[in-house]
Amino acid sequence: MSARVNPRRVRRLKDSHPGPGPVVYWLSRDQRARDNWALLHAQDLALEAARPLAAVFCLVPTFLGAALRQYAFMLRGLAETAHTLAQHHIPLLLVQGRPEEEIPRLLTALRARVLVTDFDPLRIKREWKAGVLAQVELPVLEVDAHNIIPCWLASPKQEWAAYSFRPKVRRALPEFLTDFPELLPHPHRLGPPDPWPPVEDLLRSLPVDRSVAEVPKPLPGEAAAGQALTEFIARRLSRYPQDRNDPGKNGQSGLSPYLHFGQLAPQRAAWEVFRAEAPPEAREAFLEELIVRRELSDNFCYYQPRYDEVAGFPDWARKTLDEHRSDPREYLYSLEELEAARTHDELWNAAQREMVLTGRMHGYLRMYWAKKILEWSPDPETALRTATYLNDRYELDGRDPNGYVGIAWSLGGVHDRAFAERPIFGKIRYMSRQSLARKFDLRDYLLRFAS
Ligand SMILES: Cc1cc2nc3c(=O)[nH]c(=O)nc-3n(C[C@H](O)[C@H](O)[C@H](O)COP(=O)(O)OP(=O)(O)OC[C@H]3O[C@@H](n4cnc5c(N)ncnc54)[C@H](O)[C@@H]3O)c2cc1C
């Protein structure tokens, strides 16, 4: 059988002698059975060598401030993935603890042939991977199963903004934006796997913050993700350019939690939208966000190690923020006041409450929300810490490159340009409550999330 995965999607992280056992796929960012280039590549290698194929997930007890809400969404999705994989005779094994210890232990126990893993630009994931690489003696391969254009190929450097990244994306898209082949029932079996533990038991075993409760919507998992995509294309894609920025309308896709947890491949969403019957400007507007903006976030986090610090802001932005460091602040709020949505601004409070109650905040309001945190904090460092903490604690899609970049765009001009100078913000783009009120009818939104 010929290889189903473009070899340019695959990088060799370690060269060594293959073991006699199964091919193992360590899934981390891309937690799905279908439309997964890393899994497909692992299956190709296993078929070629006539070996079994196993997948493994390493559950860490704490992860960048994730609470019950995010763990529950992830674990319910993984239970579905385990079920689908089992139907294809691929066990999904669960290990718990530090990946640097647990993954090598499992590979040794299985005498694994090759390790395949997915790509993630975030620091913690890169540290895990480096730890695993230092412990194992077998070939290790990395496949970018998240970006349509593999991050390291899309651009060799940190991009300045969307305008410099877009032409590179356009050039590479015809090679990479394709449909996916099917995952095959695997002919070589590893033996019956332990059943996937009940989600409630796993959740009980975790030391996570239970005060950030699960949300009833969206439903987790690959099937629900597919339905959400189909429904968006059928009902809302055509009006995406007109409706997406209006907090009073349900104009966005709502796909970000599925994309974040890898329950939906961005490439599946792009492929279906690319072929959908919708006005070309609607398809283009959506693909600009889904491909250019999203993959630009990965580019930033991959090439800028300080992606969640003021030190990662561009020079002009750091300079202008410094020049306005001592400007008087009309309002100063503590983290507790912000978290409890107790500011003088009812729109900000409504946005904060939307996030706390539903696990999402409307995309347009996220910019306003973050910029006001800059305006009401004693300094940019505190503002960045506060925005990241709240975003990652309450958003279902938090702890994502899109989040770090969204916050860095709002507070620190990342991927943006300089604007007319004003207090506190310096040359960072400002957003006012008045301009939002002029553009949109916010009465319904304010009523929905009133205190
Ligand atoms: C302060 C701030 C914080 C943010 N925090 C997060 C976060 O934690 N997680 C997260 O996934 N996104 C974050 N974003 C980016 C964006 O707001 C969300 O991706 C989007 O609102 C999610 O809703 P949706 O899937 O319905 O988006 P849609 O409008 O339907 O877009 C489809 C997809 O395109 C991508 N996309 C859309 N807008 C952007 C953008 N501005 N930058 C990069 N990719 C984008 C996302 O993958 C999104 O799911 C943040 C933005 C800001 C300004």
Cα of 257 vs centre of ligand 1, distance in Å, is: 10
Is pTM, for the whole model, over 0.95? yes
What is the distance of C-alpha 314 from the center of its chain? 23
Q: Whose CA is nearest to atom 18 of ligand 1?
A: 363
Tokens of 325: 């460091």
What's the number of CA atoms in the CB half-sphere (13 Å) around residue 187?
7
Q: E strand or H helix at 115, and its extent?
A: strand 114-118
**How many other CB atoms sit within 10 Å of the CB of residue 297?**
23
Q: Under DSSP, is residue 246 helix (H, G, I), strand (E, B) or coil?
A: coil
The whole-angstrom separation of Cα 203 and Cα 208 is: 8
CB 392 within 8 A of CB 401: no
Ligand 1, atom nearest to 253 Cα: 30
CATH class of 7-146: alpha beta
Domain with residues 148-179+222-303, CATH architecture? Alpha Horseshoe (1.25)
Please tell me the residue having the least CA distance from ligand 1 atom 5: 403
What's the 110 CA to ligand 1 centre distance in angstroms?
Answer: 40
Q: What is the pLDDT of residue 193?
A: 74
Nearest atom (ligand 1) to Cα of 296 = 43
Q: Residue 1: what pLDDT?
A: 56
In this structure, the dihedral spanned by the alpha carbons of residues 251, 257, 260 and 266, taken in order and rounded to 10 degrees, is -50
Parallel/antiparallel/unpaired status of strands 10-14 and 140-143: antiparallel
Ligand 1 atom at minimal distance to the Cα of residue 400: 9
DSSP E strand stretches across 10-83: 10-14, 23-26, 53-59
Query: Crossing angle for the helix pair 346-358 and 363-375, nearest 10 degrees?
Result: 120
Distance 402 CA to ligand 1 centre (A): 6
* 165 close to 155: Cβ distance less than 8 angstroms: yes
Say what the pLDDT of residue 156 is: 98
Asked whether the beta carbons of 162 and 296 are under 8 A apart, the reply is yes
Q: DSSP secondary-structure letter at 291?
A: I
What CATH class has 310-448?
mainly alpha
CA distance 424 to 126: 35
- CB neighbour burial string for 413-436, b if at least 16 within 10 angstroms, e if fewer: bbbbeeeeeeebbbbbebbeeeeb
Provide the residue-wise pLDDT of the chain in tens; the chain has 451 residues. Answer: 568 999 999 999 999 999 999 999 999 999 999 999 999 999 999 999 999 999 999 999 888 888 999 999 999 999 999 999 999 999 999 999 999 999 999 999 999 999 999 999 999 999 999 999 999 999 999 999 999 999 999 999 999 999 999 999 999 999 999 999 999 999 999 987 788 999 999 999 999 999 999 999 999 999 999 999 999 999 999 999 999 999 989 999 999 999 999 999 999 999 999 999 999 999 999 999 999 999 999 999 999 999 999 999 999 999 999 999 999 999 999 999 999 999 999 999 999 999 999 999 999 999 999 999 999 999 999 999 999 999 999 999 999 999 999 999 999 999 999 999 999 999 999 999 999 989 999 998 999 998 7
DSSP helix, strand, coil percent of the chain (3-state; round to 5): 50, 5, 40
237: DSSP letter: G
Sheet holding 114-118, edge to edge: 10-14, 140-143, 114-118, 23-26, 53-59, 92-96
Q: Please tell me the distance between residue 260's alpha carbon and the centre of ligand 1 in angstroms.
A: 10
Ligand 1 first shell, C-beta below 6 A: 244, 252-256, 259-260, 289-290, 293-294, 297, 363, 366-367, 370, 391, 395, 397-398, 400, 402-403, 406-407, 409-410
57 near 78, Cβ under 8 Å? yes
- Burial of 52-67, coded b for 16+ CB within 10 Å and e otherwise, reads bbbbbbbbbeeeebbb
Q: Please report the atom of ligand 1 found closest to the CA of residue 290.
A: 34
Q: What angle is formed at CA 397 by the lines to CA 392 and CA 399, rounded to 5 degrees?
A: 40
Task: Find the DSSP H helices in 340-432.
Answer: 346-358, 363-375, 380-394, 401-412
In the block, residue with structure tokens 């959740």 = 203
pLDDT at residue 64, as a whole number: 86
Sorted by where each begins, the domain ranges of the chain are 7-146, 148-179+222-303, 310-448
The packing angle between helices 222-235 and 68-87, to 10°, is 100
What pLDDT shows up at residue 150? Answer: 98
406 vs 427: CA distance, rounded Å: 17
Distance 108 CA to ligand 1 centre (A): 40
